[in-house]
Amino acid sequence: MLVVAATQNAHKIRELTEITKAFGMTVISRSEAGVPDFEIEEDGATFEENSLKKARAIMERCGLAAIADDSGLVTDALGGAPGVLSARFAGVSGESADAANNEKLLALLSGVPDAERTARFVSVVTLVFPDGRALAARGECEGFIGRAGRGDGGFGYDPLFTPRGFEKTFAELSAEEKNGISHRAKALAALRELLSKGAG
């Protein structure tokens, strides 16, 4: 199945491609599908709303099935923040956004004891078909927020997040290790299950 990725984040496209190729899905970028460059305002209150909005917008532009991931970090000590605002947490865009977001998160958690630094990455993946049908699947990965970044891999909050049961952060794991346990991998596995049951 050929699907167009709604995201323009190269890291997310790489993860989507690596995970979905195992079940016969070929993910292409918006530019490869001839979709003009435009911004989709992520103004939903939930990951589900944003994911659906992004997938539907791209499907309507190209007429092909489109897949969107809306994901973020939910931190218990901060009442669920940054949540749907994860990518825009520090109000910075571009290449410096990740560093600014991580710096803000660490500052807000500075007085929080280690045992209370629990968090989870959440991913909602939505697949929208040209006939308007939509399938949505959610995945979560539980873990903890460290006191400093570790590792050079991954992106976003990966250097700060240690998944439960591991000693390494997401940024210290190999791509294969991360793709085996991540929130995005779990959401895509759930989507695959929906497709295998004929929901698509």
Q: What is the spatial distance between Cα 19 and Cα 167, in angstroms, rounded to a whole number?
A: 23
List for the chain the helix, strand, coil content (%; round to 5): 40, 20, 40
Q: Which residue in 69, 70, 98, 158 is the catalytic one? A: 70
Among 7, 62, 71, 135, smallest CA distance to 17 is for: 7
Strands (E), the chain: 2-5, 26-28, 66-75, 118-128, 134-145, 161-163
With 0-12 / 13-18 / 19 or more C-beta atoms within 10 angstroms meaning exposed / middle / buried, residue 101 is: buried
Catalytic residue flag (residue 70): yes
Q: How far is CA 180 from the centre of its chain?
A: 14
Structure tokens at 159: 């250097």
Length of the chain: 200
Active site residues: 70
